[in-house]
A and B are shown apart, each in its own frame.
Chain A
Amino acid sequence: MTYDRAVELEPAAAAPARSRWRRLRPGDWAVRVGSIVLVLGVWELFGPSLNKLILRPPSAIFAAFFELVENGELQAALGQSLRELVGGLAIALVLGIVLGIASGRWRFVYNALDPLVSALYSVPSVALVPLIAVAFRSIGDAPRIATVALFAIFPILINTQQGVRNVDRQLLEVARAFNTSERRLWTDVIVPAAVPYVLAGVRLGIGRGLIGMVVAEFFVGLVGLGYLIISYENVFRVDRMFVPVIVVAAMGIFLMGFVQWIEGRVAPWLKKD
């Protein structure tokens, strides 16, 4: 799933994505599609013979997808989950970028935030979900939105902070040599320099936010894709359980692509050619 990869990348602030793999060639697509087809094919053919109950074949999951669309469960759950995800990510984005910039720029803010951020980031976020559930109990989507925000904020905050702190000293000197005002220093130097870091943090944040969304729905309330997963798992309807899992994965892929698109828009200078 998409967000597993993001989790692996987490410990260090991710460097701006600029690898030579970024531009996919037609041959790359063939390999990508081929590998998925191969895995699905093996699963379809041999899965049921290993465990009929748990390894339901892709064709059964496909059928379950239409069942869930027909009875409206999937749309309802997706709408609910999207609301939580969008709300949580918006909070994480705004708070993460603002606090990241402030702590990257001002020593006082950095000293005030760093121990808290380190502590909260090292605790497995899952352990804090029950706490959030109690704190926000019976306020609609609030506990789930808060969970998404908690999961997503740290990579965004830490990456933004790194981006602001790592602004090329030589360029800062150039800015000074041309008598740059404080406002233009931000708009012309610091913010553009931080953009690739921020976007790398956003990519990681989205992956974690999706985990937060599903985890929150496991624990708090009986709604959304997470609840769909756990309720069908409890009654051993593995074919139906897989449908929301795949939808979550698709959300991840879509959002990552969206960030990539945004990057091309706001940071055209990163396109290597």
Chain B
Amino acid sequence: MSIDRIVVERATKRYAAITVFERLELAVREGETLCVLGPSGCGKTTLLRAMHGLVPLDDGSVLIDGTRVSVPRRNVAMVFQHFGLFPWKRVDENVAYGIELAGLPRDQVRERVARYIELVGLVGFERHYPHQLSGGMQQRAGLARALATEPDILLMDEPFGSLDAQTREILQDELLRIYQRDPRTMVFITHAIEEAIALGDRVLVMTRRPGRVRELISVDIPRPRTVASVIAHPRFLALRDHCWRLLREQQVMA
């Protein structure tokens, strides 16, 4: 029996006349990767931001470890689709950002920055500015910045959405490898079905706006995984078709 880390209760979010999601109920378990799929505009990104206290809810609440989230927490880190690197900071300074703010002593910051830059494969690029890096490398830096805070919970907002197909698959494998070494609770927003199945222990398919839970699908493909091994797995096609059908029915209605 696993523990619920993040619990979303009757969450409702409106922007003026638009209801983004309404009375949404969801629980994310300790150590699992929950991938969230849904038609665009269904509120997946808003939901993720609400989980981090970046967006206030109109009704209901998000609980992490049993307490209500109102502001970003130190044990939760976020990775952004737009990378969110500071153009005026070098890679090492960007990676150091979160842990400096957490008040770590300088020598520990240095040690951790080196460790996480190595983990994401950016050794040799410490002193580069973001604009000198490819998109894939920029997101490696974004990932290192989040991981360096050693969070219990990672919130990923379509982190690979703007990368080309090959880079994306390489980074998906990296993420699976990092998870294997050091599993942690993760919520991963995506619009790519293959990505959701490859990375997720469960896949949440949302309805079109106002977003609700259409179905929670368990991905019964064992770890350790690679993208290639997941796609080659006999369960993969059935899972993908199932997700496709659920998403299609939402698109047709839209």
Contacts and interface: CB of A to CB of B under 8 A. Distances in A.
A118 B178 CA distance: 56
Nearest to A266: B88
Given A178-B72, A179-B71, A269 B84 contact: no
Given A170-B80, A170-B82, A178 B88 contact: no
B88 A177 contact: no
A195 B80 CA distance: 25
A178 B82 contact: no
Contacts of A176: 54, 72
Interface string A139-175: 0000000000000000000000000000000110110
A180 interface: yes
A237 B77 CA distance: 73
Given A178-B77, A188-B86, 11 more contacts: A170-B80, A170-B84, A171-B84, A177-B52, A178-B72, A178-B149, A180-B101, A189-B86, A269-B88, A269-B129, A269-B131
B98 A171 contact: no
Contacts, number: 50
B113 interface: no
B86 A177 contact: no
B78 interface: yes
B87 interface: yes
Contacts of A178: 72, 77, 97-98, 101, 149
Interface string B105-144: 0000000000000000000000001011000000000000
Most buried by B among A174, A192, A267, A272: A174
What is the size category of the interface that chain B forms with chain A?
20 to 34
A184 B101 contact: yes
Contacts of B129: 268-269
B101 A177 contact: no
15 contacts: A170-B82, A170-B84, A173-B54, A174-B80, A179-B72, A179-B102, A180-B101, A184-B101, A188-B89, A188-B97, A192-B88, A193-B88, A195-B88, A267-B88, A269-B129
B101 A179 contact: yes
A184 B103 CA distance: 12
B131 A173 contact: no
The 4 closest A-B pairs by CB, nearest first: A174-B84, A192-B88, A269-B88, A269-B129
A173 B45 CA distance: 13
A269 B127 CA distance: 11
Interface string B77-99: 11010101011110000000110
Nearest to A191: B88
Interface of A: 170-171, 173-174, 176-181, 184, 188-189, 192-193, 195, 267-269, 272-273
Contacts of A193: 88
Contacts of B71: 179
Nearest to B82: A170
A193 B85 CA distance: 12
B86 A181 contact: no
A177 B78 contact: yes
A173 B84 contact: yes
Contacts of A189: 86
Among the interface residues B52, B77, B84, B132, which one has the most CB atoms of the partner chain A within 10 A? B84
Contacts of B149: 178
B62 to A, nearest CB: 15
Interface string B47-84: 00000101000000000000000011010011010101
Contacts of B52: 177
A176 B71 CA distance: 9
B86 A171 contact: yes
B131 to A, nearest CB: 7
B27 to A, nearest CB: 22
Contacts of A171: 84, 86
Interface string B20-60: 00000000000000000000000000000000101000000
A168 to B, nearest CB: 9
A203 to B, nearest CB: 19
B99 to A, nearest CB: 9
B82 A179 contact: no
Nearest to A184: B101
A171 B142 CA distance: 12
Contacts of A188: 86, 89, 97
Nearest to B52: A177
Contacts of B80: 170, 173-174
Nearest to A181: B101
Contacts of B101: 178-181, 184
A174 B84 CA distance: 6
Nearest to A192: B88
B7 to A, nearest CB: 20
Nearest to B88: A192
Contacts of A170: 80, 82, 84
Contacts of A195: 88
